[in-house]
Amino acid sequence: MLKVGIITGSTRPNRKSLDVAKWVLEAARKRSDAAYELVDIKDFELPLLDEPIPPSMGKYQQPHTKRWAAKIASLDAFVFVSPEYNHGIPAALKNAIDFLFAEWNHKAAGFVSYGAVGGARAVEH
């Protein structure tokens, strides 16, 4: 069965992305054609990118990166749930994406965003 990760896009205190992600998860679980899982980037405690070797090499050194890579590698597709911060995605989401390379490749992705103009600029980013 297809495994889809619903990934939160913010780690900010009092963030709304967790509530929106839970709503998406609840709606998604009404389907029977895939398994859905909430993936909260805050749980991985990723610092600013601190890998000494470029992610495209796949030679992760840091324990937090290895844990994050294992989670993303285990998924077949993603739904990113992200607020719009200053016409783009939050730095925490960009950082989490930049930590990895091959784990994202050849997998479907969708977006749920919200903000002043419905989050459109974050999705364009």
Query: What's the CATH number where 105 sits?
Result: 3.40.50.360
Residues 6+ apart with CB under 8 A from 69: 60, 99, 100, 103
Q: Is the dihedral of CA 51, 113, 10, 90 positive or negative?
A: positive
Give pLDDT tens digits for 53-104.
999 999 999 999 999 999 999 999 999 999 999 889 999 999 999 999 999 9
Question: Domain range spanning residue 76?
Answer: 2-124
- Whole-angstrom distance, CA of residue 44 vs CA of residue 49: 13
Domain count for the chain: 1
Q: What is the strand order of the sheet 108-114 is part of?
A: 34-39, 2-8, 77-83, 108-114
Q: Which ranges of the chain would DSSP assign to H, the alpha helix? A: 17-28, 63-73, 91-98, 120-124
Average of pLDDT values for 33-60? 98
Give residue for tokens 């002043």: 116
Q: What is the pLDDT of residue 117?
A: 80
Instruction: Please check the confidence at residue 120 and state whether its pLDDT lies above 80.
Output: no
CB burial class (10 A; 0-12, 13-18, 19+) of residue 5? buried
